Each structure stands twice: as structure tokens, then as C-alpha cells.
């Protein structure tokens, strides 16, 4: 098969690697790819949101399947355009992808489908926001309605911080012209659960936990994600299915009844509260960096699963099988991230890190300049290690990280520490 991946981040590199492990030695292309993906796939000089260009290239290349990584082209209707041109594509159509494209729309879906989530209010102006802020409990959560690359969430611990957030949304317009969802702050343990959907059936993948804050101990501003691990202690297959029954399947059933069936990956970011799991957010694609920890453990054929997801009922009786090994992913970010990012910094140690047994280094924001790999974005690299225990996987990951360096490099040092503690306590 000839398969085209769309995107150029760490998630897409992990997807390309997983596709390469499929049966039949598929020929892989990627648009646009990055410096690391170029070693695993033939990269096309096309932006991920260039819908016309990608459709034309997929047709010219005789592509058998397109796997779309990022949310923006999904919300823009890339899958619809590909399918209309007779090109098989993995991912939801534009209407189904609105579950991530609009948090207001996602809240409406959850309310209609009786999916548990935080209580909320939709605010449309700074004045309306300030009126609400005086009478809500703190901490409170404020979210931009539209796509914000994982950075459109502000957790305000005081009314003063919430007022500053209102200025960010409505005066600075940091996330464009947006409505704001003001949410109850949920307490508990976060869990990421991705599931493959065929418009009718739901197949949960292995659960993962990610780390959104920039600094150790969950301090500092939110990022796109600073690391992850999989599996998660205490969440076996039976409990994972139970969560999918409460969270994913009601949404898939509702969208089928509405005539906008959901095909592709449905990501649920969850808070496991004393009252049970509640949805923090839905995403219409593989999570980042959860994908980098989940897919290296996948033993089922990813291409077969993607093709089955396209067909109504294609996943009937299917399951996704995973190795018993643990995976720990550490994100290496550039100086200034998440507020900004430094670019052009030479990266050393990549070959040494990748040479360690059980290590997978995936590129996120990298480029080639004068024959050298350099930084080219906020999140630069993902270092994933596999091991028989969370402790061994974690030690391997950080040993490999220790071989990599670039000016301004940032990372968290506590990724998967809680998994190590919990497993040691059992």
C-alpha cells in the first residue's frame, strides 16, 4: 500500500512509525513531515491545511489511504474533500470534527447525550465575563471556544487572575475572535482515553496520562503536553470499556442519529472525580503526546484498523491489542515555550539516544539547516522508552534524554513518577 500521513509534529512521526510496522511494508509519504519523519517517509512540500494541494497530491501519487494527524485540517474538511475525490481517508468529516473545533458545540453534544462533564457557562463578551467572575467559586477554568493548539485553557485561582484571563481572550484576542467557556474546576486524576470509531462501534485504545503544565509538580502555564505514559495503573481493560460506555459511545450514537457519523479517533480528556469520570475535552484526532506513548505499544495492524474505521460497522468485533510493556514519553521543548519558541538551535546527541535499546525518538519541531538538525518549534522532540515496568521505562527515557542537548532545552523531570510510586506500592 501507499499511505500518506498529514502533519509535521511528534504525533505524526509516531503515527508514521506505527504505520511502518503494519503488514505488507507500506510505502509511506507525509505532508509536510519534518526532519525526523523524512528518515521514515517521503515528505511532500505541502502544508497540513492545504486541502486542495493534499487532495491533488494524493490523487497524483495514487495513494491508497490518507491518515490525517492534526485537528485543523480535519475541522477544515480535508477528509470530506479526499473522500469526495475517491481517496480513502482516516478521520472525521468537518461536521463531526466540530466536537473539537468548538467547545460550545462539544458541551451541547455532551448535554444531549448525557455524558458527564463540568458545569459551564458560555460567555460572549468581556463585560459578560466580568459579571460572572464575581459569583463563581475558585479556581475556575476559562477556555477559548475554537482551536488553540492545546493552549487556550486558563486556570484562574482567583478572581483577579480570571479578570486577567478575560483580557487575554477579549482584549488581546490571543486566540482570535472567540466565545469563552467558563467551567467548574474539577478535582481528581486526569486520564486520556482514545477510541477508534466507525460511525457505529467504539474500540478503546490503551489509556494514557499526559502532563499539560510546563514545570514539575504541575506548575506554570498549560502547554500542548510535556510528556505522557501508558498504561495507567488501576485502569485495566474492563474499566476502560466501562469508561468508553459512559463517554465515547453516547457521543457516537448521538452523531449517528443526527446523520453526521463519527469515523476516526475520538479522544476524551477525562478527570476521574469522586463521582466518576467527567469529560474535560473531546479531540477529533490522536492526542499529542499520548500517541507517542500509546502507539509504540500497539500490536494490532494500524492500517487495518484505520481502514476498518472508515466503513460503517467496520470495527464490529474488532479490538486493539497492546504489549504488556510500559511506555514513557518525555517532551523536550525549546527556550521560551509555551509563550514563544527559539529556533535554529543545533541539536546534538540524537543518534546516541536513538541507539539505546527500547528507545524511540520522534521529532516535533525540527528542521535541517546546513546539514544539521536544528530546533524549529515549541515542542522539539519526544523521547519514548519501553520497559517491563514503569520504573525501567522511565529510567531508560531519562537516560536517553541525558544524551540530547540544545540551547534553551526545557523538560519536566517528573514524567511517570506517580506510576512508579503506585506500582511499587502494590
**pLDDT band at 179; cut points 50, 70, 90:** very high
pLDDT the model gives residue 349: 97
**pLDDT band at 357; cut points 50, 70, 90:** confident
- Could you identify the residue written with the cell 504541575? 218
pLDDT digits (tens, 9 = 90+) for 305-332: 999 999 999 999 999 999 999 999 999 9
H-run or E-run covering 263: strand 263-273
pLDDT the model gives residue 5: 98
Distance CA 366, CA 352 (A): 17
- Could you identify the residue written with the cell 515528505? 43
pLDDT digits (tens, 9 = 90+) for 358-408: 999 999 999 999 999 999 999 999 999 999 999 999 999 999 999 999 999
Whether the predicted pLDDT of 302 surpasses 80:
yes
* Grid cell listed for 46: 505541502
Q: What is the mean pLDDT of residues 111-122?
A: 96
Asked if 285 and 70 touch (Cβ cutoff 8 Å), the reply is yes
Provide the 3-class DSSP secondary structure of residue 313.
coil
The full length of the chain comes to 426
Q: What is the mean pLDDT of residues 185-200?
A: 96
pLDDT the model gives residue 221: 87
Per-residue three-class SS string for 230-241:
ECCCCCCHHHHH
Provide the 3-class DSSP secondary structure of residue 392.
helix
pLDDT the model gives residue 360: 96
* Closest of 67, 114, 121, 110 to residue 92, by C-alpha: 67
pLDDT digits (tens, 9 = 90+) for 21-40: 999 889 999 999 999 999 99
Q: What is the mean pLDDT of the chain?
A: 95
Whether the predicted pLDDT of 149 surpasses 80:
no
pLDDT digits (tens, 9 = 90+) for 339-353: 889 899 999 999 999
**pLDDT band at 148; cut points 50, 70, 90:** confident
Q: What is the mean pLDDT of residues 161-179?
A: 92
Percentage of the chain modeled with pLDDT above 90 = 92
DSSP structure class, residue 185: P
Distance CA 299, CA 307 (A): 16
Q: Taking the model in full, what pTM does it have?
A: 0.95
pLDDT the model gives residue 152: 86
Range with the lowest mean pLDDT among 151-155, 234-238, 255-259, 351-355?
151-155
DSSP structure class, residue 332: E
Whether the predicted pLDDT of 150 surpasses 80:
no
Q: What is the mean pLDDT of residues 81-86?
A: 98
For the four alpha carbons of 228, 325, 15 and 102, in that order, the dihedral sign comes to: negative
pLDDT the model gives residue 24: 84
pLDDT the model gives residue 277: 96
Per-residue three-class SS string for the chain:
CEEEEEECCHHHHHHHHHHHCCCCCCEEEEEECCCCHHHCCEECCCCCCCHHHHHHHHHHCCCCEEEECCHHHHHCCHHHHHHHCCCCEECCCHHHHHHHHCHHHHHHHHHHHCCCECCEEEECCHHHHHHHHCCCCCCEEEEECCCCCCCCEEEECCHHHHHHHHHHHHCCCCCCCCCEEEEECCCCEEEEEEEEEECCCEEECCCEEECCEEECCCEEEECCCCEEEECCCCCCHHHHHHHHHHHHHHHHHHHHHCCCCCEEEEEEEEEEECCEEEEEEEECCCCCCHHHHHHHHECCCHHHHHHHHHCCCCCCCCCCCECCCEEEEEEEECCCCCCCCCCCCECECHHHHHCCCCEEEEECCEEEECCEEEECCCEEEEEEEEECCHHHHHHHHHHHHCCCECCCCECCCCCCHHHHHHHHHC
Amino acid at each position: 500500500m501507499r499511505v500518506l500521513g498529514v502533519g509535521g509534529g511528534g504525533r505524526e512521526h509516531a503515527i508514521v512509525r506505527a504505520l511502518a510496522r503494519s503488514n505488507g511494508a507500506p510505502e509511506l509519504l507525509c505532508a509536510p513531515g519534518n526532519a525526523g519523519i523524512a528518515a521514515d517517509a517521503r515528505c511532500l512540500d505541502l502544508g497540513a491545511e492545504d486541502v486542495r494541494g493534499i487532495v491533488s497530491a494524493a490523487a497524483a501519487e495514487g495513494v491508497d489511504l490518507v491518515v490525517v494527524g492534526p485537528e485543523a485540517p480535519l475541522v477544515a474538511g480535508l477528509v470530506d474533500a479526499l473522500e469526495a475525490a475517491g481517496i480513502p481517508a482516516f478521520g472525521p468529516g468537518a461536521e463531526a470534527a466540530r466536537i473539537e473545533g468548538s467547545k460550545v458545540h462539544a458541551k451541547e453534544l455532551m448535554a444531549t447525550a448525557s455524558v458527564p462533564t463540568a458545569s459551564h457557562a458560555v460567555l460572549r463578551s468581556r463585560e459578560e465575563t466580568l459579571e460572572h467572575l464575581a459569583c463563581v467559586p475558585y479556581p475556575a477554568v476559562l477556555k477559548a471556544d475554537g482551536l488553540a493548539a492545546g493552549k487556550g485553557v486558563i486556570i484562574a485561582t482567583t478572581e483577579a487572575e480570571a479578570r486577567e484571563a478575560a483580557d487575554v481572550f477579549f482584549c488581546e484576542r490571543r486566540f482570535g475572535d472567540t466565545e469563552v467557556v467558563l467551567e467548574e474546576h474539577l478535582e481528581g486524576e486526569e486520564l486520556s482515553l482514545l477510541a477508534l470509531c466507525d460511525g457505529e462501534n467504539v474500540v478503546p485504545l490503551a489509556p494514557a496520562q499526559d502532563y499539560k503544565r510546563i514545570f514539575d509538580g504541575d506548575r506554570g502555564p498549560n502547554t500542548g503536553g510535556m510528556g505522557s505514559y501508558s498504561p495507567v495503573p488501576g485502569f485495566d481493560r474492563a474499566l476502560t470499556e466501562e469508561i468508553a460506555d459512559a463517554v465515547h459511545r453516547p457521543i457516537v450514537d448521538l452523531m449517528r442519529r443526527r446523520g453526521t457519523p463519527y469515523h476516526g479517533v475520538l479522544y476524551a480528556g477525562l478527570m476521574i472525580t469522586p463521582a466518576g469520570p467527567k469529560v474535560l475535552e473531546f479531540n477529533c484526532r490522536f492526542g499529542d503526546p499520548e500517541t507517542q506513548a500509546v502507539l509504540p505499544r500497539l500490536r494490532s495492524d494500524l492500517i487495518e484498523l484505520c481502514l476498518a474505521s472508515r466503513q460503517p460497522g467496520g470495527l464490529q468485533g474488532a479490538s486493539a491489542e497492546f504489549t504488556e510493556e510500559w511506555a514513557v514519553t518525555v517532551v523536550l521543548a525549546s527556550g521560551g515555550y509555551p509563550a514563544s519558541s527559539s529556533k535554529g538551535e543545533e541539536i546534538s546527541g540524537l543518534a546516541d539516544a536513538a541507539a539505546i535499546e527500547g528507545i524511540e525518538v520522534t521529532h516535533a519541531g525540527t528542521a535541517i539547516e546546513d546539514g544539521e538538525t536544528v530546533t524549529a518549534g515549541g515542542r522539539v522532540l519526544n523521547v519514548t522508552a519501553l520497559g517491563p515496568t514503569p520504573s525501567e521505562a522511565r529510567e531508560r527515557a531519562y537516560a536517553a534524554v541525558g544524551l540530547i542537548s540544545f540551547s534553551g532545552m526545557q523538560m519536566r523531570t517528573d514524567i511517570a513518577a506517580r506510576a512508579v510510586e503506585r506500582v511499587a506500592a502494590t
